[in-house]
Amino acid sequence: MTDQNSERRASDQEFAEFPYPRSERDATPSVASVPPGTPYHHLARVRPRNWGRFLLGTLLIVALCIGAINLIEMGALLVQTALGGPSSPGPGGATLQNSVAEFALSSAILGVFLPIVLLAVWAVQRRPIGSVSSVIGRVRWRWLLSCCGVALVAIMVQNVLSGVLNTVVPSSAVQNAAEPQWVGWGAFLPTAAIVVLVTVFQASAEEYVFRGWLLQGIAGCFPRARDGVVGRTAAAVFGTPWPAILISAAAFASIHGYTGLGMLDIFLFGAVLGWLTVRTGGLEAGIAFHVIFNINAFLFMAAFGQMGAADDQGGVPWQDFVTFCVPLALFAGMTVRRARRRGLRTVTGTATAEDRTPVGVAAEAG
């Protein structure tokens, strides 16, 4: 009897440390759990053949998004035709003949990535959809709102710094630009409402794709610890979140049309938000800064009737590069400090009073 109990305890311990359910122990697993102490970037390591599931899920996301984009554009054209507008794309491939409507359409197209990513997490990787949000298995709303407050402070610093720097050392773009004209409250308020509404979904979707799906998926494909010098060295390098952070940041930069310092801007944006995602155990900080940053930029365009320039990218003067890096660094430093002071959870495990009850991600009662 003693030998049987020892064997059972050893088997249970082995299973508890195994990162995904074994078929002989759980014949019909619906979703996989992860052991306590798992960091955010390893939450996709819940099934065998991580790289195959990640590749299949990525192909599914691309295919479904292409289909959804086509349906949205066709619907927009049908609505425009019914309202008496042109029934074909305009110059430059624009679907609609109104800059605000075109902005809303492009943001809505990006927004569809969010539910599709959640579908891939559940259907392909077979893990809780909440595990892409944070280490407690859901969005930590109070922490998200707190990060929005920090982001507002950082963006206010950016606006002041931009005004001072472009007054003292104006860039050629500022010198050559015509004096902006206020559009008036009647034109600004409806556009501002659209900007705020669609930007929340657009920026959140980008975070779920690049700091969520890609970062976790890439980290899950790297090998675990191996025997030997080479194996231990590879595990020491690729066991950290940095390869996944940098690769996902490069992918994020590649979908933008910036050049020079503008491309470096976007890469740093993705890398810092990826680092914050791992350090805080969830997407909330990245979503907060991304949303507030984009809303601030688009509201300025709406205020001066420049929504047609929302998709204009290209080069960035050094003044804009500086006024971007300073608030990004300020936000990162303030967020990490606040997370440390609040004792924010950064790995799976026992829920704190702040976290409430974990959903989906396995937790150990303590």
Percent of the chain with pLDDT over 90: 49
Place 275 in a pLDDT band, splitting at 50, 70 and 90: very high
Angle between the N-to-C axes of helices 284-303 and 141-168, in degrees from 0 to 180, rounded to the nearest 10: 40
Mean pLDDT of 110-118: 94
Q: Is the pLDDT of residue 97 over 50?
A: yes
Q: Which comes out higher in pLDDT, residue 246 or 314?
A: 246
Q: Give the predicted TM-score (pTM) of the model.
A: 0.82
Q: Which comes out higher in pLDDT, residue 89 or 254?
A: 254
Q: Is the pLDDT of residue 327 over 70?
A: yes
Q: Is the pLDDT of residue 359 over 50?
A: no
Percent of the chain with pLDDT over 70: 73
Give the residue carrying structure tokens 């590649």.
254
Q: Is the pLDDT of residue 27 over 50?
A: no
Cα–Cα nearest to 215, from 254, 244, 253? 244
Give the residue carrying structure tokens 């990525």.
58
Q: Is the pLDDT of residue 43 over 70?
A: yes
> Tell me, what's the pLDDT at 274?
98
Place 49 in a pLDDT band, splitting at 50, 70 and 90: low
d(CA 135, CA 284): 11
Q: Is the pLDDT of residue 258 over 80?
A: yes
Give the three-state DSSP class for 240: coil
Q: Which residues pair with 314 in a beta bridge?
A: 258
> Tell me, what's the pLDDT at 223?
65
Cα–Cα nearest to 140, from 338, 285, 40? 285
> Tell me, what's the pLDDT at 35?
81
C-alpha 193 chain-centroid distance: 23
- Positive or negative, the CA dihedral 158, 163, 167, 170 is positive
Q: Is the pLDDT of residue 323 over 50?
A: yes
Span between the terminal Cα atoms of the chain, in Å: 30
Q: Is the pLDDT of residue 68 over 60?
A: yes
Mean pLDDT of 205-223: 92
Mean pLDDT of 33-47: 84
Cα–Cα nearest to 114, from 136, 132, 96, 94? 132
Average pLDDT, rounded, for the chain: 80
Q: Is the pLDDT of residue 176 over 70?
A: no
d(CA 311, CA 301): 11
Alpha helices (H) along the chain:
2-17, 50-82, 99-111, 113-123, 141-168, 172-176, 185-207, 215-221, 228-238, 242-254, 261-280, 284-303, 318-342
d(CA 41, CA 241): 6
- Positive or negative, the CA dihedral 311, 317, 323, 328 is positive
d(CA 176, CA 244): 41
> Tell me, what's the pLDDT at 320?
87
- Asked if 61 and 113 count as a contact pair (C-beta separation under 8 A), the reply is yes
d(CA 80, CA 87): 7
> Tell me, what's the pLDDT at 34?
75
Cα–Cα nearest to 128, from 118, 143, 113? 118
Place 86 in a pLDDT band, splitting at 50, 70 and 90: low
> Tell me, what's the pLDDT at 192?
94
- At 297, the amino acid letter reads A
d(CA 264, CA 298): 21
> Tell me, what's the pLDDT at 252?
96
Q: For residue 223, give the H/E element and its range.
A: none
- Asked if 144 and 133 count as a contact pair (C-beta separation under 8 A), the reply is no
